[in-house]
Amino acid sequence: MPETLWTVLKVFIVVNVVMLHVAYVVYFERKVIGHMQARLGPMRVGWHGLLQPIADGIKLFFKEDIIPSSADKPVFYIAPVIGVIAAIASFAVIPMWEGFSLANINIGILYLLALSSIGSYSIILGGWASNSKYSFLGGLRSSAQVISYEIAMGMSLVGVMMLSGSANLTDIVNAQSQTWFIVSQPVAFFVFLMAAVAETNRTPFDLPEAETELVAGYATEYSGFRYGLFFMAEYAGMFAMSAVATVCFFGGWKGPDVWFLASIPGVVWFLLKIYGFIFFYFWIRATLPRYRYDQLMGLGWKLFIPLALANIIFTGLIKLL
């Protein structure tokens, strides 16, 4: 029994740390985008706006929860909760430093891909249940996005599994002690990165939300904390995807083994790499315009899937020789 209690405690701590990061990554985003546009970003609440996420959370908590009279109530209620569960549960298999992951299961990659698919259900269901035209279009676009990018994403990770001979994320990190897989699998990394951006509905693939066309897309009819849950799910999903990219292509918790750098604990390297990816997300958001959705589906089917397949064949050939 004490062991079970210890597990519960570990999960509790990890979930809370993740939630804290999710709250502050919103602040980070507003600061980064602000400075990229020659603004300051949030400055009022606390020193340099540091308490802004907390203020936002409290505000959302006290806002009225408006449920449109024509909405499909039960689905409308649970859709954002599904998103939050799928996004947070991804962290169960991520190895955060040497020998630490909550659940060291041997199908880690499959588990992550499954959860990221479930996450898009929350958007499709939420858009459909709202019974509003904007939401409906947002949900429809989300389904278009899912069927265009999920295959490429799954296939891009096949190369990683072939090189490491395992779908366990800890094994994958250990297989990268010599060279990171970004060196041997650059094409797979490129495909995965683009698919991850599409999967988390970020610019330039943020069609389901598309605030300039669809008001707020799938989230148009949501308000108060229910809307906040969608927001949390999106940012936690970004964290999860960055963590997968770090683990599968950038050597996870491993840092350079030279000089004083070797004494820095693994979790610091892990977080640094994750925040590198998070910064990349914000960077492309501030740089690129949005795709049109037939362009986006064309990109997924005509470019990423052939690329990912070619990468698998190529990797197989190289390993045989």
Write out the two tokens for 211. Answer: 């605030």
Amino acid at 85: I
Q: How far is the CB of 253 from other proteins (least distance, A)?
A: 18
What's the CA gap between 24 and 115, in Å, rounded?
Answer: 23
* x-marked contacts with other proteins along 34-73 as a string, rule CB under 8 A: ---------------------------xxxxxxxxxxx--
* x-marked contacts with other proteins along 6-25 as a string, rule CB under 8 A: -xx-xxx-xx---x------
Cβ closest to other proteins, residue 49 vs residue 139? 139
Q: How far is the CB of 131 from other proteins (least distance, A)?
A: 6
What's the CA gap between 268 and 272, in Å, rounded?
Answer: 6
Residues 50, 52, 53, CA angle at the centre, nearest 5°? 105
Q: How far is the CB of 201 from other proteins (least distance, A)?
A: 17
For the CA atoms of 147, 121, 248, 20, the dihedral, rounded to the nearest 10 degrees, stands at 150
What's the CA gap between 89 and 83, in Å, rounded?
Answer: 10
Q: How far is the CB of 140 from other proteins (least distance, A)?
A: 7
Which one of 32, 112, 158, 244 is in contact with other proteins (CB under 8 A)? 158
Does 155 engage in binding with other proteins (CB under 8 A)? yes
Does 296 engage in binding with other proteins (CB under 8 A)? no
What's the CA gap between 273 and 25, in Å, rounded?
Answer: 14
Residues 83-102 contacting other proteins, CB under 8 A: 84-85, 87-89, 91-93, 102
Which one of 99, 256, 265, 298 is in contact with other proteins (CB under 8 A)? 298
Does 166 engage in binding with other proteins (CB under 8 A)? yes
Write out the two tokens for 3. Answer: 């062991």
Which one of 116, 142, 200, 220 is in contact with other proteins (CB under 8 A)? 220
Residues 124-143 contacting other proteins, CB under 8 A: 130-136, 140, 143
Does 221 engage in binding with other proteins (CB under 8 A)? yes
Cα radius of gyration rounded to whole Å, the chain = 20
Cβ closest to other proteins, residue 41 vs residue 119? 119
What's the CA gap between 112 and 86, in Å, rounded?
Answer: 9
Cβ closest to other proteins, residue 32 vs residue 232? 232
Q: How far is the CB of 272 from other proteins (least distance, A)?
A: 24
User: DSSP code of 203?
Assistant: T
Which one of 26, 32, 96, 109 is in contact with other proteins (CB under 8 A)? 109
Q: Which residues of 144-172 are buried (b: 16+ CB within 10 A; e: fewer)?
A: bbbebbbbbbbbbbbbbbbbbebbbbbbb
Which one of 4, 37, 178, 263 is in contact with other proteins (CB under 8 A)? 4
Does 80 engage in binding with other proteins (CB under 8 A)? yes
Which one of 45, 224, 271, 275 is in contact with other proteins (CB under 8 A)? 224
Q: Per CB under 8 A, which region of 150-158, 178-186, 192-200, 276-284 contacts other proteins?
A: 150-158
Residues 233-292 contacting other proteins, CB under 8 A: none
Residues 6+ apart with CB under 8 A from 219: 126, 135, 138, 209, 227, 230
Q: How many residues bind other proteins (CB under 8 A)?
A: 82
Q: Within 10 A of 142 (CB to CB), how many other CB atoms are there?
A: 24
Which one of 120, 148, 200, 242 is in contact with other proteins (CB under 8 A)? 148
Amino acid at 164: S
Distance of CA 108 to CAs 26, 93, 122, Å? 27, 6, 22
Write out the two tokens for 91. Answer: 């962290």
